[in-house]
Amino acid sequence: MLVNLKEILDMAEKGGYCIPAFNVYNMENVIGALHAAEEMRAPVILQVYPRLMKEETGYFLSPVILAAAKRATVPVCFNLDHGPSELEATRSIRYGATGVMLDGSTLPFEENIALTKKIVDFCKHVDVQVEGELGHVGTTADDSMDEFTTASDAKRFVEETGVVCLAVAVGTAHGRYKKPPKLDIERIKEIREATNNTALVLHGGSGVPDEEIKKAVKAGIRKMNFATDLCYAFIDCLAEDAVKPDRAVAVDTFMKRPIEAVKEFCISRIKLVGADGKAE
């Protein structure tokens, strides 16, 4: 069933676990992630990068996500990931998204608050909630990994914007890590306390050691994003199969194994964050 961002995060908060958020780029990714969610009886978030929403991919991909969510027997939320502006936010809502991330983390603090609040205010009218970001979660290629979120800023940000969850910078980055990151678990706890237990989001979940992820969930991470490793699972399988002399040529048949690879990856992450068996 299709649920909104608040509904799915409330489940995680109540059960003390974390919802895996899988970035999907095409129909095969959606099918793989959905099969994993069904088999694991897990609530999941399927999310889309703003680039896809700006290009025509979002137009074609969104109905696929909605079809998957509506047919699913487990809760599925359709979220925009890293929306930089009103354009992507409104377009996503028009395409049926039930959650919107507004990423104003590269803006000065006050501007981030103002833009995020503006998006929260209009999303309210269509029962869509907003994920904000504070403290910049950079990429593994840059040096911005020291801009950690502070508890006092987070408190003000949550109070003034009305976001339903907050992406925090606590040691992760986007992309493939050169060395495994160490998360600031104490900081996660402090931010939770300062924000009246607001659901916190960890971006850059790919490549974080399993033990660190478990500690982060225990400390209050309620949504964790997996994009890079899902891409690798899909592409590595595809590349491997493409050079086999006996490979299938009909694309639907060829895609069966890459879909399975995405499914297996999603199953491993669902178990890791403790979302398996939580759909009932």
What's the distance, CA 23 to chain centroid?
A: 6
Tokens of 71: 């047919």
**Does 187 contact Zn ion by CB under 5 A?**
no
How many residues of this chain interact with Zn ion, rule: CB under 5 A? 1
Cβ–Cβ < 8 Å for 167, 137: yes
Q: Which is nearer to Zn ion, 269 or 278 (CB)?
A: 269
With contact defined as beta carbons under 8 Å apart, do 75 and 279 qualify? yes
φ and ψ at residue 12, rounded to 5 degrees = -65, -40
* Catalytic residue from among 81, 103, 229, 276: 81
SS3 category, 245: coil
* Cβ nearer to Zn ion, comparing 255 with 272: 272
* Active-site annotation holds for 81: yes
CB of 110 to Zn ion, least distance (A): 22
What b/e string do you get for 45-75 counting C-beta neighbours within 10 Å, with b at 16 or more? bbbbbbebbeeeebeebbebbbebbeebebb
State in angstroms the smallest separation of the CB of 81 from Zn ion.
6
CB 120, min distance to Zn ion, A? 19
Pick the closer one to Zn ion by CB: 35 or 82. 82
CB 225 within 8 A of CB 165: no
Give the per-residue contact string, 195-224, with Zn ion (x = CB under 5 A; - = no): --------x---------------------
Interface residue list for Zn ion (CB under 5 A) = 203
Catalytic residues: 81
